[in-house]
Amino acid sequence: MSDDFELDTDALQRRMDGAMANLKTEFASLRTGRASGSMLDPIMVDAYGSMTPINQVGTVNVPEPRMVTINVWDKGLVGKVEKAIRESGLGINPQLNGTIIMLPIPELNEERRRELGKVAGQYAENARVAVRNVRRDGMDQIKKAKADGMSEDDQKLWESEVQELTDGMIKQVDQALETKQAEIMQV
């Protein structure tokens, strides 16, 4: 009976990878003082009666390290895109040039950098919690199989495999956080 147990480690790995992908998305939305087109991803524009991401109403470019430009395809939407950026809370003041909206990225001061570092830390902690929840689910499956007659050796083997997956993913989260914090603190 115990030989029938097969833990789906691929499913656990996929769920942990999902937590990591979510962390990278959250990190991309943090402003680091350097221009990035992904910082506009969370901003939605009221276009044609529905809320639409900016990258679906125009072309987003990063022509230089401290500048993002949006070439809005429909002239009638330029004002709406500008308004959405002003109200987004990014702290960026858009400048119009025909259908092109230029977004100069200001330098971050030391205090703002520290705040962003703390926010990045919170995002990383949320990812660690998600990874640990996946680990707990895997361990629960193993405990249930143990109750159904799995040998103690098999139980230890599966538990160590789940723990290895978890440790590797937590290490990736920590590395991503270190990289992001270094990027934020870079002047």
9 Cβ contact partners less than 8 Å away, ≥ 6 residues apart? 138, 161, 162, 165
pLDDT at 42: 77
Over its length of 187 residues, how does the chain's per-residue pLDDT go in tens digits?
Answer: 345 678 888 999 999 999 999 898 888 777 666 677 777 877 889 888 899 888 899 999 988 888 899 999 999 999 999 998 888 767 778 999 888 999 888 777 888 788 888 888 999 999 999 999 999 999 999 999 889 888 899 999 999 999 999 999 999 999 999 998 888 887 6
Quote the pLDDT of residue 2: 43
Q: CA 156, 158, 160, 162: dihedral to nearest 10 degrees?
A: -150
Domains present along the chain, CATH in parentheses? 2-28+109-185 (1.10.132.20), 37-104 (3.30.1360.40)
Q: How far apart are CA 37 and CA 72, in angstroms?
A: 14
Q: 171, 143, 144: which is closest to 156 by C-alpha? A: 143
Q: How far is it, in rounded angstroms, from Cα 174 to Cα 159? A: 22
| pLDDT in the model for residue 187 | 63
Q: What pLDDT was estimated at residue 65?
A: 81
Please report, as a single letter, which amino acid is at residue 109. Answer: N
- Find out whether 49 and 19 touch, Cβ atoms under 8 Å: no
- CA atoms within 13 Å, Cβ hemisphere of 55: 11
